[in-house]
Amino acid sequence: MRTRVLALALMAALSVVPAAVATRADASVDRMELVLPKGKLELRLLAPGIVQLRTEGTHEPATPVIDPQASFDPVEVKREQQGDEQVMRSTQLTLRWNARRAELRMEAPDGHLLLSTNLGPGLDGRWSLQHAKGDPQYGIGGLNAFDAQTGDLLRHGKQVATAGKQGHTGAPFVWSTAGYGVLADAEPAQFDLTAAGIAIRADQPVHTIYLLAGEPAALFAQLRQLSGAAPMFPKWSMGFTNSQWGIDQKEVQALVETYRAKHIPIDNFTFDFDWKAWSEDMGEFRWNTDKFPDGPDGKLKQWMDARGMRMTGIMKPRLHVDTVEGREATERGYWLAQSKEAPDYFSHKPVRDVDFDKPEVRAWFFNDALKKSFDTGIVGWWNDEADDSGVDTQFLNMQRAMYDGQRAHSEQRVWSINRNFYLGSQRYAYGVWSGDIQSGFASMAAQRQRMLAAFNVGAMHWGMDGGGFKAPRPSDENYARWIEFGSFTPVFRVHADFGQKRQPWVYGPVAEKAATDAIRLRYSLIPYIYGYEYQNHVTGVGLVRPLQFAYPDDPAQRDRVDAWMFGDYLLVSPVVEQGQTSKRLKLPKGHWIGWFDGKSYEGGREVTLAVDAKSWGDIPLFVREGAIIPQQPVMDYVGQQPVTALDVQVFPADSESRFDVYDDDGETYAYETGASFVQPLVVKRKGSQVSVRTEVAKGGFRPALHDYVLAVHGAVANSVRSSGQPLPAFDTVDALRHAATEGWARGKDRFGEVTYVKIEAGKVRDIELDTVAVQQ
């Protein structure tokens, strides 16, 4: 199906061909052979919104950008001749090929032009496409950790798609909220963006491009079809991670005990160099017994397991040359050509990078010593410094070595973070963090653009060194605000330079409370967050999305980095200025409700919010009307107790909204073979009635979940029916929660009047609330 979608998108996009060109239809209705004076191009509709265009004889992906396992279902295509034009239509686009004018055009279903192109240059590996003047363009790449400017999201002029260094994210992909995208099978790639055109070239000829059509969500779903799905991260990684450089077993155990005693939720401790026997034989792959004496025999793992903690560790692309493994790498020719032998900054002994582009190196790297470390507790990978090689695929293939190695060894899900990103990496459970950033408010504010730009190239698992990596120590206020920011990012972690601490209690009682409250809010939203982890896997759209993605038709959202959507229903705009007492924010059009104060706000206008400059505990967080937000009891770690009931915050709107409640075992890849639980919740308001529908639950996994307790906001119910039959009413929500049956109750919370409805999870229900509107 993937191949067919690509072909369709490509035909639609290519709308100009030289005059002396003949075309003939292939035996398949979803493709055409375009005969040009200097050669042939193949056009295929791979899916309803994907067109593939490639030079004749190109059959395999040229780079890791394209998933070699991509497949596509047959596409329903309509073909006709209209005068000089051959026309190919799918549900998402129309392609018009005019041989006399040598023009290929891709149109939207309503007939307006998306892209056109002259195909002649494609034969020499250069491509040129035209679009409507002023269409906003996104993608290609962002900023690295040390770029001075804060940057924006729109892309103009000459751009290079590269993995880059220190937090950079890149993809040979440019897209527009005007309804199209262009993907090149190239690494790296050079783009020249003008007011009305897109030109693409690379050092090596680009033999294949793909034209995509649709709204942003459709474009990223198509990108997922082409470049591959991101495997799901383990559920524990939806929580909080403390990373530290300069630590030993005694200290980490004391820190874990403190987290647990203070009930500050945490799931993962990540170790820097300290965990390794660095510079000893096989020391890059095994425990440092001086610092972690109970590492190799698994006793530390048992201790951590009893407290619900995971351990993850740093990995480097380099080996010490004068070791058993270094000499073996020399004998077998495993060194990266671009890497020269040099003293390591930590051990001061000679090291050199291995070449992860070689399959034999990847197979060799996940060796018996590393398997032993995994079995004794290092269950995730913090891959560092492979961006220093200058090779776009070095980081991608380093994590591929870890992914393939772990999957061959264990059913336990792979988790990683890496210091740059190139499209295709996501196939290997690949997260990215923004590099060795400075502390301070300016650096924190600059992370907003880096995160949103990462999303725009398909890097959905993004995080940062909360608190900043480099000195000086962040102020207490800076730390508190950084934790609040980080709690609304996909990968939520803190880290610092050697010897610095990033635990909440280090920054005083005021910051500790603000940080703890933010972490606990994050943990209450785990069902919501995990639902979008699943959506990222199946649709290519992750937890965080820029406002121009969510509101593509609103010019006011085109280049905003001050706020973003956290899932479909929450908008967050963290405080990123020191001592701020008020914050001006323009909400997108629609109706919004403050998460903490319950106030109503009309979008499309600027609001001024009071900011607490003394306790730092407020987070500008808003609920979009129509929201369905499941929450669970806050725990010290993910999975501490079975979740038997979900509190679902419901804010009905006149248009139908939905959320897919998702669960699985959280640990293995059984979800790939159907061991999951997916149940859609659908809500709509019509006059004085609110309907809530729970649809058929799919999948073979049966969670501990027994009940949904729906908190339907904004009206008082007179009666509640399930499939036409009245549900019993209870005096209080507590009585309802403890009842053995389904039912309903009235109440109030910070949002105002609430009707609570308890129904059995996993069952099909059609709930109707007859309500009387009240003033909020």
Q: What DSSP character marks residue 558?
A: T
Q: Of all helices (H) and strands (E), which one includes residue 338?
A: none
Q: Which residue has the tokens 């959320």?
A: 659
Choosing from 67, 272, 294, 436, the catalytic residue is 436
Position 405, amino acid: G
Choosing from 387, 388, 568, 707, the catalytic residue is 387
Long-range contacts of 336-344 (CB under 8 A, 24+ apart): 336/389, 336/391, 336/394, 338/389, 338/390, 338/391, 339/389, 344/279, 344/318, 344/320
Position 346, amino acid: F
Name the β-bridge partners of 197. Answer: 130
CA distance 489 to 484: 10
CA distance 720 to 114: 48
Name the β-bridge partners of 31. Answer: 44
CA distance 719 to 729: 8
436 is catalytic: yes
Choosing from 384, 404, 517, 568, the catalytic residue is 384
**Whether 72 contacts 3, CB under 8 Å:** yes
Tokens of 578: 């020191």
Tokens of 56: 């004749």
Question: Buried b vs exposed e over 203-216: b needs ≥16 C-beta within 10 Å?
Answer: eeebbbbbbbbbeb
Q: Give the strand pairing for 22-25 and 31-36.
A: antiparallel
Helix 299-306 and helix 249-262, axial crossing angle in degrees, nearest 10: 10
**Whether 457 contacts 446, CB under 8 Å:** no
Phi/psi zone of residue 121: left (φ > 0), alpha (ψ -120 to 50 degrees), beta? alpha
CA distance 654 to 709: 22
Catalytic machinery residues: 384, 387, 436
